[in-house]
Amino acid sequence: MEGRAVIIDESTAFGARVAAHLREEIVVWLTSVSPSGKPLPMPVWFLWEGGESVVMFSRDGARVRNLEANANVSLNFSGDGRGGDIVVLSGVATVDRDGPRANRAGAYVEKYADHIRRIGHTPDSFADAYPVPVRIALERLRGH
């Protein structure tokens, strides 16, 4: 499936689990690659936009520079702690500096409202702290 969008078939048990993770999980592990080729896993908040893309918001720093240099990423969910419920999505990240900021992404604000408050932000101050939208086109799905 390399280079083609992932189609999540919710009519299958695995596809339904993948969709549930994408809708309900608060954190996904985003792994990008440093300029020296080292993997850089980091937990991030995200929003599945349905279909085959995910959006997240980042500080304008090393992560964004790494994504601009090498857009290949993976998204991993934690699983069940016993080696089951494994979901790994691979894709290509696009830094979208002109895209809507977090405070304009209604579904994102709705999903993370309590968490944004918990870390001492409002939607506007969160958008100021994490001003760079990153859209990930999902291209590959693995798991069991």
pLDDT digits (tens, 9 = 90+) for 53-92: 999 999 999 899 999 999 999 999 987 777 778 999 999 9
Instruction: Give Cα separations from 56 to 16, 65, 74, 101, 107 (angstroms).
Output: 22, 15, 13, 10, 12
Instruction: Work out the angle at residue 27's Cα, subtended by the Cα atoms of residues 101 and 86, and round it to the nearest 5 degrees.
Output: 135
pTM score, whole prediction: 0.90
CB atoms within 10 A of CB 105: 20
Rounded Cα distance between 133 and 97, Å, is 6
More confidently predicted of 48 and 1 = 48
Residue-level pLDDT at 3: 59
More confidently predicted of 62 and 129 = 129
Helix, strand, coil percent content, the chain, rounded in steps of 5: 30, 30, 40
Rounded Cα distance between 141 and 31, Å, is 15
Report, as an integer, the average pLDDT of 102-122: 96
Residue-level pLDDT at 1: 39
Asked whether the predicted pLDDT for residue 128 surpasses 60, the reply is yes
Q: Percent of the chain at pLDDT above 90?
A: 80
First-to-last C-alpha distance (Å) of the chain: 17
> Backbone phi, then psi, for 135, in 5-degree steps?
-105, 130
Domains and CATH numbers, the chain: 13-143 (2.30.110.10)
